[in-house]
A and B are shown apart, each in its own frame.
Chain A
Amino acid sequence: MAEDIAIVAFAQTPSYRKYHDSEPSMIMSLVEQIDKEVDIDRYDIDFTIAGSCDYLSGRAFAFIANVDGYGAWPPVYESHVEMDGAWALYEAYVRLQLGDIDTALIVGSGKSSPGKPLEIFPLQTDPYVSAPLGVDPVSAAGLQARALLESGKATERDFAEVVSRSRRDGLSNPYAQVAKDIDADTLLKEPYCASPLRKHDLPPISDGASAMLIARGDKARELCDNPIWIRGIDHRMESHHLGLRDLSDSPSTRIAAKSLGVDPASLDVAELCVRYSPEEIVLRQALQLGDNTRINPSGGPLCGHPVMSTGLTRVVEAARYIRNGDAGRGLAHAASGAALQHNLLCVLEGDS
C-alpha cells in the first residue's frame, strides 16, 4: 500500500525571457517563499532534490552551485536529476515511500537565455544517428504535427485554436511570459517556420524555476490545512528513434494513465506539458479528456517554458487550481525528449 503523500506548499517564479541574476538566487527567493508559507524550519526538511541541466546556461557543475539556492549549510541530504523537476518530484515521492523521513523539498530550475536551445537539445537524442544531424525539438514537433494532419486526427486550425486559447488564458496568469488575445484566423495567416508549425505554435524561451514541499500523511496535515494529495505518479518512455514511433499517438502516456487508473470523467483540470500546440491534441486523445476537464487554465508552456521546471510547474498549477477550490481532482503532465518521447503523469486531489 502506497504511503499517503501530499503537496504542502508550492511556488514558482514568473517565466522570464532573461533573468538577470544567478540561478541559485532565483531558487533562493523561491524557497524563501515556501518557508514563509509553511511553519517549518529549513533545517527540518528531510530530503531535497532538484532537477536542472548544466547545458542550458553552459556552466559546468551549475547544479552544484544551485545547492546554495536551497541552503546547504549545515549539510543537507540531497539528490539531483538531470531532468525536469517533475522527475525530481517522482524520486522524492518514491523516497518518501520508504517511510523513514517525512518531508521533501523539490526544485526545478533553468536558465535557457544564455544558450541556443535549438543547438543544445539535439544532444538529448541518439548520439550516432540523430544528434550529428542536429535533430532539434522544433523539427521533431514539426514531424509530429504532420503525422497528426495526415492521420486525420487534427487540422492546422486545431493547432491555432490551442494557441489562441492558451495565450488568452495566459493573460490571467501572472507568471506568463507570452500572452495575448488573438484568434485562430489571425494566427493561421502567419508564415510557417517548421511547417506545418508556425512560430506561435512554439513556446517562448524562458528562464524560471518552481518548487514544492511534499510530506507524508500526518506531517502534511500538521504543516497545512489543505494538503493536495498525490494519488498516483507514473512515467513511461518510448523509443529514441522517431521512426519507430507513431507520432500521432502517445502510447507511453496511455500506459501511464492506465497504470494510475486515471478516469478522465473524474478530472476537473489537466495541466499538460504542451510545448508545441500539436502536443495538446496528442495528449488529449491519449488521455481521452472530455469537455468536463479544463485544460491548461494557466495557458501552459506556450505562455512560458522554463526548461527543467516546465513539467514541475504543471504540477504546481494543477495544485493551485485545486487549492483555490476550482477543482477537486486534477492531472498534471510533464514531458521530456523529442515529440513527447517521455511522459509523466501525476494525479492530484484535494481533501474532500
Chain B
Amino acid sequence: MFTYRLELTNSCFGSFFPHLGRGLPLRHEGSTKPSKPFDFFGSECVDLALVVAAFVLAEIDQAWDRPGQDPPYLMVHYEPSSKQGAVTMSEFPISFTLEFPYTRTPGPVIGRFLTGLRDGRILGIRSGDRILCPPMEFDPDTCETLALDFVDVGPSGTVENWTWIAEPTSKHPIQEPFAFALVKLDGADTVMTHAVKASGPEAISTGMRVTAQFREERVGAVTDVYFVPEADAEKQSIEPGEGEVEITTHTISLPYTDTLYPHSARFAQGLLDGKFIGQRTRDGTVSFPGKGYDALARVVLTEADDVELPPVGTVLSYTTIAPIQYKGQTETEPYLTAIIILDGAGQTLTPQDIRNIPTDEFRVGMRLRAVFKPAAERDIDNVDNDWMYPSIGNVVDHWESSGEPDCPLDELPESV
C-alpha cells in the first residue's frame, strides 16, 4: 500500500523545491493503491476515498480562480508506507512565465483616441448621426470607412451596465475591488467598457453618473484613464503631451505552473538516482528521455516501457570552443563540447562539455562513460516537459574514457 497525501496548494510545492512552497490551505490524508500513479481521475481502480477527496477538492475548486492567487490545483505525493520497500514517487513542480512585448501601430483613429487620453481628453468619432466612443475606423453597421471627424465627449457619463469585481486579477487596471462598467459618455451614443473605482458594490448602480480621472503618468494607452462616481471626482488640470501616439506597447506576461509528467518525473528521478531512464518504443529503439508515447506507432507508453540505459556512449561529433572574452564571460581556456549517444539510445544527448580530456586525444568514435556527481550535488533544474534536445540536467560531473576500443567510424550508431 502507498500512503498518499492530497494537497490543495496555491503554489508550486515539492520535495525538491521546498523554497517554492507557500502554504497548504487544505489537506486530506488516507491511503490507497493507485493503479496508475498521478492519473487519479483517469485511473480505473482508484480507492473510493481518493475519489471522494478529489471530488471535494473539485467542488471547492469549481470556478475559474479569481485573481491575485495562483490557481489552486491538486497535487499527489506518493510516499512508501513503512511496510513497503523504498518506492518513492514524487512530483516535480515546474513554473515559467511567458512574455511577449507587443508593439502595435494604432492607426489614425485609435491613435487619435490614445493621444487624446494622454492629453486628458476623450474623443469619439462621428458615424452618420451617431458618435462612437471608443472610436472605430468604420461604421459598425455598414462597414463604411469613417472620415477622421473627432468629437470631444465626457469627461462625465452614465453607467449603463456594471459588474463588481470582488477579486481583481493582476491584469486589471485597479488592484482593489472595482467595477467593470459600460459607460455612455456625455455626447457619445455608444458605451465604452472601462473600470470604475468605487467604495463597494453598493456605491454603483445602473444610471449613476461617473467622471473620468486621468492618471498622473499617462503613456497613450486606454489605461491612462479610469472612472469614479461623479461626486468623488477631483478637478484635474492635464498638461498635453507632444506629438501623436503612433506606437502602443502591451507587454503580456503569463505565469504557468505544472508538474513533470509521469514519464518525465521517472526520468528526472532516475537522474537524481544516477540512472539514465528512457522508454522503449515499438520499433525497438529507446527514446531518451521518453515522451510518454511512441509517436510513430501512435501508442501511449507506460512505466512498463521504461528502460535503464548504461552510462556509456560513443562520441558522434565534437568541436572546440575557444572562449571570446566579453563582460561576464567566465570561460578562459579552450574546451571541447561533444555530441554523445548513449548505448541503445535513439537520439543524442545535448552537447556535453569535456574539460578533462586533452583536445588532441579526443576523437569521433571514442567510448566514454559518465561519472555522476555525488548524489547531493545533482540537480534537475533544467529538466522540463518540453525538451528540444534530451537534457540530462546537471547530474554528470564529467565524462571519462570507458577503456573500450573506439567504435569504427563506419559502425557509428544512427540517431535522430
**Which residues of A approach B to under 8 Å, CB–CB?**
13-14, 16-22, 24-25, 28-29, 31-32, 42, 55, 57-60, 65, 68-73, 113-120, 122-123, 127-139, 142-143, 145-147, 150, 177-178, 180, 191-197, 199-200, 202-205, 239, 241-244, 247
Q: Considering only CB atoms, which chain B residue lies closest to A202 in the complex?
A: B63
Neighbouring B residues of A24 by C-beta, 8 Å: 291, 293, 295
**Assembled-state Cα–Cα distance A129/B163 (Å):** 18
Say whether, besides A132-B222, A192-B201, A194-B165, A115 and B256 are in contact (CB < 8 Å): yes
**Assembled-state Cα–Cα distance A172/B332 (Å):** 68
When the two chains form their complex, are residues A146 and B163 in contact, meaning their CB atoms are under 8 A apart? Answer: yes
Shortest distance between the CB of B383 and any CB in chain A (Å):
15
Neighbouring B residues of A114 by C-beta, 8 Å: 256-258
Say whether, besides A28-B299, A146-B161, A14 and B41 are in contact (CB < 8 Å): yes
Q: Is B228 positioned at the interface, with any CB of A under 8 Å from its CB? A: no
Shortest distance between the CB of B106 and any CB in chain A (Å):
6
When the two chains form their complex, are residues B62 and A178 in contact, meaning their CB atoms are under 8 A apart? Answer: yes
Neighbouring A residues of B259 by C-beta, 8 Å: 20
Say whether, besides A136-B169, A193-B66, A194-B164, A128 and B39 are in contact (CB < 8 Å): no
Neighbouring B residues of A191 by C-beta, 8 Å: 166
Shortest distance between the CB of B285 and any CB in chain A (Å):
14
Q: Considering only CB atoms, which chain A residue lies closest to B292 in the complex?
A: A25
Q: Considering only CB atoms, which chain B residue lies closest to A176 in the complex?
A: B58
Q: Is B326 positioned at the interface, with any CB of A under 8 Å from its CB? A: no
When the two chains form their complex, are residues B161 and A247 in contact, meaning their CB atoms are under 8 A apart? Answer: yes
List 14 interface pairs A-B (beta carbons < 8 Å), by A numbering.
Answer: A14-B42, A18-B74, A29-B300, A58-B254, A71-B298, A117-B65, A127-B250, A133-B180, A134-B169, A142-B165, A178-B62, A200-B62, A204-B61, A243-B191
Report which of A119, A145, A177, A242 forms a contact with B58, defined as CB distance below 8 A.
Answer: A177
Interface locus among B170-178, B333-341, B343-351, B369-377: B170-178
Interface locus among B19-27, B96-104, B209-217, B393-401: B96-104
When the two chains form their complex, are residues A58 and B256 in contact, meaning their CB atoms are under 8 A apart? Answer: yes
Interface residues of B in 290-317 (CB under 8 A from A): 291-293, 295-296, 298-300
Neighbouring B residues of A21 by C-beta, 8 Å: 38-39, 261-263, 292
Shortest distance between the CB of A124 and any CB in chain B (Å):
12
When the two chains form their complex, are residues A138 and B64 in contact, meaning their CB atoms are under 8 A apart? Answer: yes
When the two chains form their complex, are residues B261 and A132 in contact, meaning their CB atoms are under 8 A apart? Answer: no
Interface residues of B in 7-46 (CB under 8 A from A): 38-42
When the two chains form their complex, are residues A239 and B140 in contact, meaning their CB atoms are under 8 A apart? Answer: yes
Report which of A59, A132, A142, A239 forms a contact with B221, defined as CB distance below 8 A.
Answer: A132
When the two chains form their complex, are residues B223 and A68 in contact, meaning their CB atoms are under 8 A apart? Answer: no
When the two chains form their complex, are residues A118 and B257 in contact, meaning their CB atoms are under 8 A apart? Answer: no
Shortest distance between the CB of A32 and any CB in chain B (Å):
8
When the two chains form their complex, are residues B63 and A195 in contact, meaning their CB atoms are under 8 A apart? Answer: no
Report which of A22, A65, A119, A243 forms a contact with B182, defined as CB distance below 8 A.
Answer: A243
**Assembled-state Cα–Cα distance A59/B258 (Å):** 11
When the two chains form their complex, are residues A147 and B161 in contact, meaning their CB atoms are under 8 A apart? Answer: yes
**Assembled-state Cα–Cα distance A22/B262 (Å):** 9
Shortest distance between the CB of B389 and any CB in chain A (Å):
15
Shortest distance between the CB of B385 and any CB in chain A (Å):
7
Interface locus among B79-87, B144-152, B192-200, B357-365: B192-200
**Assembled-state Cα–Cα distance A283/B161 (Å):** 20
When the two chains form their complex, are residues A129 and B222 in contact, meaning their CB atoms are under 8 A apart? Answer: yes
Neighbouring A residues of B250 by C-beta, 8 Å: 127, 131-132
When the two chains form their complex, are residues A205 and B65 in contact, meaning their CB atoms are under 8 A apart? Answer: yes
Say whether, besides A22-B261, A28-B300, A17 and B255 are in contact (CB < 8 Å): no
Say whether, besides A119-B254, A150-B161, A199 and B73 are in contact (CB < 8 Å): no
Shortest distance between the CB of A113 and any CB in chain B (Å):
6
Q: Considering only CB atoms, which chain A residue lies closest to B98 in the complex?
A: A58
Which 4 A-B pairs have CB atoms at the shortest separation, nearest pair first? A142-B163, A134-B171, A71-B298, A243-B191
Q: Considering only CB atoms, which chain A residue lies closest to B296 in the complex?
A: A73
Shortest distance between the CB of A350 and any CB in chain B (Å):
30
Q: Is B206 positioned at the interface, with any CB of A under 8 Å from its CB? A: yes
Report which of A117, A123, A128, A133 forms a contact with B172, defined as CB distance below 8 A.
Answer: A133
**Assembled-state Cα–Cα distance A114/B292 (Å):** 19
Q: Is B239 positioned at the interface, with any CB of A under 8 Å from its CB? A: no
Of B193, B221, B250, B252, most A-chain CB atoms within 10 Å: B193
**Assembled-state Cα–Cα distance A241/B255 (Å):** 27
Of B98, B173, B261, most A-chain CB atoms within 10 Å: B98
**Assembled-state Cα–Cα distance A17/B165 (Å):** 24
When the two chains form their complex, are residues A130 and B62 in contact, meaning their CB atoms are under 8 A apart? Answer: no
**Assembled-state Cα–Cα distance A50/B371 (Å):** 45
Report which of B70, B163, B193 forms a contact with A243, defined as CB distance below 8 A.
Answer: B193
Shortest distance between the CB of B113 and any CB in chain A (Å):
8
Neighbouring A residues of B172 by C-beta, 8 Å: 133-134
Q: Considering only CB atoms, which chain B residue lies closest to A204 in the complex?
A: B62
Question: Mask for B223-259, Cβ within 8 A of A = 1, else 0?
Answer: 1000000000000000000000000101010111111
Shortest distance between the CB of B358 and any CB in chain A (Å):
40
Q: Is B276 positioned at the interface, with any CB of A under 8 Å from its CB? A: no
Interface residues of B in 45-59 (CB under 8 A from A): 54, 57-59
**Assembled-state Cα–Cα distance A292/B349 (Å):** 63
Shortest distance between the CB of A288 and any CB in chain B (Å):
25
Neighbouring A residues of B42 by C-beta, 8 Å: 13-14, 16, 19
Neighbouring B residues of A117 by C-beta, 8 Å: 64-65
Shortest distance between the CB of A316 and any CB in chain B (Å):
18
Of B59, B102, B163, B250, most A-chain CB atoms within 10 Å: B163
